[in-house]
Structure 1
Amino acid sequence: MKKFDVVIIGGGSGGCAAASRLADLGKKVALIEMRGKEGLGGTCINRGCIPAKILLAAAEAYSGVLKARDFGIEATGVSFDYRQVIQKKQGTVKALKFGLQNFVLKPRGIEIFYGLGRIRDPHTVEVTGGDQTELLQAENIIIATGSEPAMFSSFNIDGQNVLTSDHALDLQEIPPELLIIGAGALGLEFAHLFSTFGSKVSIVEMAPQIIPALADQEFTGLVQNYFEKQGIAIKTGVKIESVELAAAGKVVSSLSNGEKIESSKVLVAIGRKLNTTDLGLQEAGIKMERDRIVVDESMRTSIPNIYAVGDIVPGPQLSHKAQREGIVAAEAIAGLGTRMDYRVIPWAIFTQPEIAAVGMTREEAERAQIKTITGSLPLMANEKANTMKKTAGLVKVVARADNLKLIGAQVFATEASVLIGELALAIANGVTVESLSNTVHVHPSLSEAIMEACKGSLGKAFHRSAR
């Protein structure tokens, strides 16, 4: 039986981050990936954020050429070959996986096992791959098995007409009409992608607003209004009752309001199934609540030497959250006393404009009985946005009224995923909106919108449109 300081079950974002940090801290590490070599890197690299962003980058390139006339540039005969777009996506994913295995994991001496990992006892993990079974002895264990798209039987998901996000990433052709179930991050990104390439897109969301996780109806209303103007039909507060295959390869979806929507394909962009079955969790005595593993601030489970990170623990299902949790678990095992801070987990939706947020909204602060001040700046008032002809959106900040410390921000703008980083850093370090408003930003730049929004919260804005 091979002996390791740490055995990690799951080779995705959280598992790889933990493995790398542990190796740097001098630990002997085993990493188990159940999907084989093709699965290394997890959902993010293989079937999630990375392939999706490659396709979205292609859509942005295509859209940019179509809009070149806005800058006095004529481009004729513009077309795309979506099969080539998919091939480029696959090539980039392959290169990133090669880099992960050969430039991140192997140089650190991390031993990789391909197969299904199962906890036999608090210090033994069984790895089953094909016809072979191997036992690994571990001082500590980290569970990082992630999740996969939920297969709702009521939607008749078949991978051809009714799709999950995994299927959608490998479509070889743009569907003429696409109905998307769910207006969260997945739904909006796929809506933007396929709409840009010419698909007639409709979204149905059972919640009363798009981006249900964001408690700011004013902000989400602005986002919804923009995408509706781009030709995407959005219905909120409505459920899908049934999805049935009709004649000529069409799919008919029946809504709770009595409407029916006919489309070429349906994309189910809701729900993730946690990979927690057949891991030996119950037998090991690991505590769970609402199907997720209960952990403390060090990512430690109810069994002292077993840790868990990523989608299988409470909190948003985000790759960067899983990575941070993996590092926290690694450093806790090494005795560094690191703790996970969930107050500052930024997220972004990579539409155009992008959508990003961090910390609390004003509504969330009010529910927590925190008095706030807010400030916002429409991108129309930002000079850099005007030079780029990307003036849709705004930057909004939320601060405590008593000490002016920034506690939240929402951004709807091109490069919102970049802008949110400054705001996350400010929240994490207790920076005030006054300090941000007095910090000189490059001119012209999109980041000036942060400075102006902060000034707006204090009644000092240069732009009259700030508030």
Structure 2
Amino acid sequence: MVDLKIEKLAGHSKKGKVGKISAKIGDELKEGQVIFQVECDKGNAQVKSNCDGILKDLKVKEGDTVNIGDIVAHIDGVIKEKEDKKVSSVSEMEQSKSQGNKAKSSSFDYFGGMLKPIKREVECDLAVIGAGPGGYVAAIYAAKQGLKTVIIEKEEVGGTCLNVGCIPTKALVRSSEVFDNIKHSEEFGIKTADAFVDMEKVIERKNGIVKKLTGGVDYLLQKNSIEKISGTGEILDKNKVFVKGKREEVTINTKNIIIATGSKIASINIDGFNGNKVINSTEALDMKELPKSMVIIGGGVIGMEFAFIYSNLGVDISVIEYMPKVLCTMDEDVSDEIVSIAKEKGIKFFTSSKVTSVKESEDDRAIVYFDMNGKEKLITCDKVLVAIGREPNIDGLGIEKIGIELNENKKGIKADDKLKTNIENIYAIGDVNNKIGLAHVASHGAIVAVDNILGKNSEMDYSAVPSVVYTTPEVATVGMTEKMAVSSGIQIKIGKFPFMANGKALTHGEEKGFVKVIKDNNTNKLIGASIVGPNASDLIGVLTLAIKNNITEEQIKETIVAHPTTGEAIHEAVLSLEGGAIHFDS
């Protein structure tokens, strides 16, 4: 008989509350199988079996409090002897002394037990490959609809977004904004002295937020009885996925498959990009020492966010962009406004420029060589951040073996508006289909794909997808740009309202930027909008709702907006379409 003892909980927690219990007395358990979840202040922990055997008794029920050191169950089985006595999971099985000697048999195949993975098969309605914001949403939504669901992930749940993308960058954005506010606090009548950036604490806070959110996703998967299988998933056919993990090999027999493997950092072959002075966006999230100067290669969303983060923290920033403008997919006035704000902060821009190489100088600095309008230029700095974007992650899926089609540019899996691939029962959602690489698009696509699996007629609508750049201030857009509308032959009218005329923005010292709305003259409906300014990421939701639901100019004008709020700028921008804004004379 083996005791199941709580050895460790999430973070430094000493106790926690028992959550979802996934096994019952009499169940046959496999090594590593989750028995129950423990909810802690620092996140959630999984209590797992560390041997094959029968669950003889369970001393806890959902809602009970457990402490480190508690024996919570007994399993009729024997722990396999291993080279490394340390257990990586949050719980550890301890064999009772009376059975300890029996476990050590002279006939035990030590190396055989170490080298041979456990092989098993799983039956399910849906196998989801990838546990990012597309994959885990698909799994949870499917489980809530009654589908037996399995999710496959080779790393941490949450994907790029929670681990090395959306969430950690926004944690850094917030820290940088707090420091920037402190530097300008005298404008608000607050005097401070000796403020400095402790990057160790900044990174620690960021990591804590990430851990809390990924722990929450783990908890939700367990709560909805979704089995998480660790390893790389390879599709063998439309109803079979093979997963090779560190300790086991699992064959999943499934009725449907959703591919949600996301994206990876785009590769580029430039001399010196593998040097010691060059980092990528993932590495930038763990940089505990601030350089005095940094060159950022790429003026897209990732590059611009890091430019403001590190500029606010006191780093001298230069941005090199291949295109004539940064944030080149946005309207020119939007790009120009954020560049103007950035320049006031001391950020320097070199557009229409192509980086040719990065070298190291004799005084241990980086030298970035680039071509600008046919002339060779160079900049020296302490660090170089490569922020050239991401590309679909299709490695190891085996899609070529079963004939899954790629897009015409061979980047990403081809999927229709129902998110179906050319293979029956297989869907591709999120970044992996290379349509719009945003976490919220992946999450919405998850629901669309599952609805189609359930027999509902659901399609993706990309006409009103909001996009946000977390600069200071933020930039947000939705719908058509002015250039897109004109090139499509639509007769449009532009409405604008500056935040310098908005009372709430002035009280917060955030008067930079504007709200811009685009109206189709033939229908009087809004078809596009952009915001540069405070709360842009929140305000864009209002305009997304308006564009998605074909709300007219008159309907928005007739809506009462609370005062004082930054939301009033939207109302005023719409008023400026006809007759003019009330609080600004253009």
Same fold (TM over 0.5): yes
Contact 2:513 2:533 in 1 (8 A): yes
Aligned residue for 1:50? Answer: 167
The C-alpha deviation readout for 1:80-119, integer Å capped at 9, x for no partner, is 21111111111111111111101x1110000000000000
The C-alpha deviation readout for 1:260-313, integer Å capped at 9, x for no partner, is 010101101013132112211111111111221111111111112000001111
State which of 323, 330, 334 in structure 2 corresponds to 1:219.
334
State which of 226, 245, 249 in structure 1 corresponds to 2:360.
245
- 2:133 aligned with 1:133, yes or no? no
Q: Distance in 2 between matches of 1:278 and 1:58?
A: 37
Secondary structure of the structure 2 residue equivalent to 1:166:
helix
Secondary structure of the structure 1 residue equivalent to 2:504:
helix
1:220-299 alignment runs, 5 A limit: 220-257=335-372, 258-289=376-407, 290=409, 291-299=411-419
Secondary structure of the structure 1 residue equivalent to 2:468:
strand
State which of 299, 307, 315 in structure 2 corresponds to 1:183.
299
1:417-436 alignment runs, 5 A limit: 417-436=537-556
- 2:178 aligned with 1:61, yes or no? yes
1:288-437 alignment runs, 5 A limit: 288-289=406-407, 290=409, 291-437=411-557
Secondary structure of the structure 2 residue equivalent to 1:88:
helix
Contact 1:378 1:465 in 2 (8 A): no
1:112-151 alignment runs, 5 A limit: 112-130=228-246, 132-151=248-267
Q: Distance in 1 between matches of 2:153 and 2:384?
A: 31
Cα deviation for residue 130 of structure 1 reads 2.4
**2:296 is aligned with what amino acid?**
I
Secondary structure of the structure 2 residue equivalent to 1:256:
strand
Aligned residue for 1:75? Answer: 192
Contact 2:392 2:434 in 1 (8 A): no
Cα deviation for residue 155 of structure 1 reads 5.0
Q: Distance in 2 between matches of 1:155 and 1:397?
A: 44
Secondary structure of the structure 2 residue equivalent to 1:247:
coil
Contact 2:236 2:402 in 1 (8 A): yes
The C-alpha deviation readout for 1:344-392, integer Å capped at 9, x for no partner, is 1101011111000000011100111111111001111111111111100
Contact 1:151 1:157 in 2 (8 A): no
Secondary structure of the structure 1 residue equivalent to 2:218:
helix
The C-alpha deviation readout for 1:127-180, integer Å capped at 9, x for no partner, is 011263221001000000011112323153347410110010010111111000
Residues 1:242 and 1:158: Cα distance change in structure 2 (over 3 Å): closer
Secondary structure of the structure 2 residue equivalent to 1:301:
coil
Aligned residue for 2:577? Answer: 457
State which of 124, 131, 138 in structure 2 corresponds to 1:18.
138
Cα deviation for residue 403 of structure 1 reads 1.2
Q: Distance in 2 between matches of 1:209 and 1:17?
A: 35
Contact 1:379 1:393 in 2 (8 A): yes
Cα deviation for residue 231 of structure 1 reads 0.4
**Which stretch shifts more, 119-128 or 223-232?**
223-232
**1:14 is aligned with what amino acid?**
G
Aligned residue for 1:169? Answer: 285
Secondary structure of the structure 2 residue equivalent to 1:277:
coil
**Which stretch shifts more, 113-122 or 310-319?**
310-319
Cα deviation for residue 465 of structure 1 reads 3.5
Contact 1:155 1:162 in 2 (8 A): no
Q: Distance in 1 between matches of 2:125 and 2:175?
A: 43
Secondary structure of the structure 2 residue equivalent to 1:239:
strand
Secondary structure of the structure 1 residue equivalent to 2:489:
coil
**1:338 is aligned with what amino acid?**
S
Residues 1:273 and 1:296: Cα distance change in structure 2 (over 3 Å): closer
Q: What residue ranges of structure 1 are gaps of 5+ in the alignment?
A: none
Q: Which has the larger radius of gyration?
A: 2
Residues 1:203 and 1:155: Cα distance change in structure 2 (over 3 Å): farther
**2:182 is aligned with what amino acid?**
V
Q: Distance in 1 between matches of 2:172 and 2:310?
A: 10
Secondary structure of the structure 2 residue equivalent to 1:154:
coil
Secondary structure of the structure 1 residue equivalent to 2:236:
strand
**1:265 is aligned with what amino acid?**
K
Secondary structure of the structure 2 residue equivalent to 1:126:
strand
Q: Distance in 2 between matches of 1:246 and 1:318?
A: 38
Cα deviation for residue 65 of structure 1 reads 1.7
Aligned residue for 1:197? Answer: 313
Q: TM-score, normalised by structure 2?
A: 0.77
Secondary structure of the structure 1 residue equivalent to 2:385:
strand
Q: Distance in 1 between matches of 2:245 and 2:175?
A: 37
**Which stretch shifts more, 191-200 or 311-320?**
311-320
Secondary structure of the structure 1 residue equivalent to 2:369:
strand
**1:89 is aligned with what amino acid?**
K
Q: TM-score, normalised by structure 1?
A: 0.97
Q: Distance in 1 between matches of 2:483 and 2:467?
A: 18
Contact 2:497 2:581 in 1 (8 A): no
Contact 2:273 2:357 in 1 (8 A): no
Q: Distance in 2 between matches of 1:98 and 1:241?
A: 42
Q: Distance in 2 between matches of 1:421 and 1:262?
A: 41
Q: Distance in 2 between matches of 1:152 and 1:238?
A: 16
